[in-house]
Amino acid sequence: MSEITVGSHSSAITDWFEFKLNGELVLVEGVPPTMTLLEWLRRTGRTGSKCGCAEGDCGACTVAVLDRDTTGMGTYRALNSCIAFMPMFAGREVVSVEGLARGDQLHRQAVLARDVLRAP
């Protein structure tokens, strides 16, 4: 299991933390704890995820989050990024829309994400 790295923070601003986005380690600095993942994704140029309802109902902002059990087995879980705050992702692994394709080819994670989205 990977080590979670989080910087010191006040209640107003998170100094820094890291998480994996589409397989790459990302450093997040100086974001308010109330910033959503969707807002951060779009502000950093990752505009594939959309804001449809801002209430977590429509799915336009869906990302896949990798959860691991005690044995290290991973499973992807669909999460609405419009209602998920950035500090929730410290040390986590996230796949956004941009991580689902490599050029013209669907990435292996796209198939996993598709299956997550179809789950009841």
Distance CA 86, CA 15 (A): 12
Distance CA 47, CA 92 (A): 20
Q: pTM of the full predicted structure?
A: 0.75
- Please list the pLDDT of the chain residue by residue as tens digits (120 residues): 444 444 544 456 668 999 999 999 999 999 999 999 999 999 999 988 899 998 888 889 999 999 988 998 999 999 999 999 999 999 999 999 888 877 666 665 555 655 655 555
Q: What domains can be seen in the chain, in order of their start residue? A: 35-84+92-118 (3.10.20.30)
